Amino acid sequence: WINRQIKDEL
């Protein structure tokens, strides 16, 4: 699963 809108990692 990939959150395409929000990427929390730097």
Partner 1 sequence: MNIFRLAGDISHLLAIFILLIKIWRSRSCAGISGKSQVLFGMVFLTRYLDLFTSFISVYNTVMKVIFILATLVTIYLVFFKFRATYDSNNDTFRAELLVIPIAGLAVLVNHEFSLFEILWTFSIYLESVSIMPQLYMISKTGEAETITSHYLFALGLYRGLYIVNWVWRYYTEQFYDWIAIVAGVVQTLLYCDFFYLYITKVIKGKEMSLPA
By the criterion CB under 8 A, which residues form the site for partner 1? Answer: 1-2, 4-10
Q: How far is the CB of 5 from partner 1 (least distance, A)?
A: 7
Region of 8 (left: φ > 0; alpha: ψ -120 to 50; beta: rest) is alpha
Tokens coding 2: 């990939």
Output the smallest distance, CB 6 to partner 1, in A: 5
Q: How far is the CB of 10 from partner 1 (least distance, A)?
A: 6
Residue carrying structure tokens 């699963």? 1
